[in-house]
Amino acid sequence: MSATSTVASDPAADAPDRRREQPPRRRRRPRLPYALLVPAVAVILVAVGYPVYWQVVTSLQEFGLAQQFGAPPTFVGLDNYARLFMDPSLWAVVVRSLLFCLVNAGLTVGIGVALALLMNAVGRVPRLVLQVALLLAWAMPMVAAVTVFKWLFDWRSGVVNWLLVAIGLDQYQGYSWLAQPMTFFLVASLVVVWMSVPFVALSVFAALTQVSDEVLEAAAIDGAGPWQRFWGIILPMVRPVISIVLLLQIIWDLRVFAQIRILQDAGAPIDQTNLLGNYIYELGLGRQDFAGASAVSIFVLLLTVLLSWPYVRSLLKEDEA
């Protein structure tokens, strides 16, 4: 194993460390929690450790189709990394992916919180309707959902173009939404946000139910308006949940792959719409440059750790407090 896995395992390693620094009066160091961790760690090592190991090794070799079919790979050091990072097209993909990920994660959490507040505010029946609707969207298989969106925005027979033309916007007759990167990502964002809002909304709603009415009542009596109650009381109380769902969204949205690929299959400028996952897929399985794909994958791993690090840190800090 290597530097990468060390970096990656830091957050986990940190957690017990910090706990150990807590006041010693508590108790002697118990063994049971560590024993309970063993199965989880074993699963991660077997299921993830080996692929990561393979990937690190491969990223340092020349590994193409010939090697896949048995030719011995040659060690090339950091050549793959150098080659890829000199290539401006990789950086274009990185910037595009980060923007897509942050915008979508932000949108998802924003809309999710708004829906959660709505659910908290309305009566039983509308709340149930909302919850069922959210659960259905959440339960829909991703491939099916993306296919439906693809059909909605189809240039020939899509209902979106039909509606726009019906209200008098004739320029949308035969308009191809997926042909330009901007409108392509608009459609992609719609799918991604639509599919992930339910998780955020339901999680935040669950947290909202834990905010005690007495506190809110007391605040209201003291003269706090709805906004003040939201910013000053509700938000701080559900902040841990929001932090986690935001963190998860960022990680998930950095890894979108199938959504983009299915939309690309409908006809799109591929090099201008590739995100990191698609770029790696194209490099590895399309161009059979397994070494290059591994190198980019390692980079994405580091990027993910980097992106989520501030959140993990703040969570750990809260933990200490």
Binders of other proteins among 125-164, rule CB under 8 A? 155-156
For residue 304, state whether it binds other proteins (rule: CB under 8 A): yes
Interface of this chain with other proteins, residues 96 to 115, rule: CB under 8 A: none
* Whether the Cβ atoms of residue 274 and residue 93 lie closer than 8 Å to each other: yes
For residue 268, state whether it binds other proteins (rule: CB under 8 A): yes
Structure tokens that stand for 59 in this block: 């990223």
Nearer to other proteins, 60 or 178 (CB): 178
Nearer to other proteins, 13 or 136 (CB): 13
Angle at 127 between CA 125 and CA 133, to 5 degrees: 105
| Residues 5, 193: Cα–Cα separation, whole Å | 31
Element (DSSP H or E) covering residue 75: strand 74-75
* One of 77, 224, 244, 259 touching other proteins (CB under 8 A): 244
Nearer to other proteins, 230 or 252 (CB): 252
Q: Which stretch binds other proteins (CB under 8 A): 74-82, 122-130, 191-199, 283-291?
A: 283-291
> Shortest Cβ distance from residue 160 to other proteins (Å)?
15
* One of 120, 131, 147, 176 touching other proteins (CB under 8 A): 176
Nearer to other proteins, 130 or 161 (CB): 161
Interface of this chain with other proteins, residues 21 to 40, rule: CB under 8 A: 40
| Residues 77, 84: Cα–Cα separation, whole Å | 13
Chain centre to alpha carbon of residue 305: 12
> Shortest Cβ distance from residue 210 to other proteins (Å)?
8
* Whether the Cβ atoms of residue 273 and residue 184 lie closer than 8 Å to each other: yes
> Shortest Cβ distance from residue 290 to other proteins (Å)?
7
Residue with tokens 């990920």: 101
| Residues 312, 319: Cα–Cα separation, whole Å | 10
> Shortest Cβ distance from residue 64 to other proteins (Å)?
6
> Shortest Cβ distance from residue 19 to other proteins (Å)?
9
| Residues 80, 85: Cα–Cα separation, whole Å | 9
Nearer to other proteins, 56 or 130 (CB): 56
For residue 242, state whether it binds other proteins (rule: CB under 8 A): no
The dihedrals phi and psi of 76, each to the nearest 5 degrees, come to -125, 15
Q: Contact letters (x/-) for other proteins, 67-96, by CB under 8 A?
A: -xxxx-------------------------
* Whether the Cβ atoms of residue 59 and residue 81 lie closer than 8 Å to each other: yes
Structure tokens that stand for 185 in this block: 């990502």
* One of 226, 232, 269, 310 touching other proteins (CB under 8 A): 269
Give the SS3 label for residue 62. strand
For residue 120, state whether it binds other proteins (rule: CB under 8 A): no
* Whether the Cβ atoms of residue 153 and residue 178 lie closer than 8 Å to each other: yes
For residue 271, state whether it binds other proteins (rule: CB under 8 A): yes
| Residues 187, 179: Cα–Cα separation, whole Å | 11
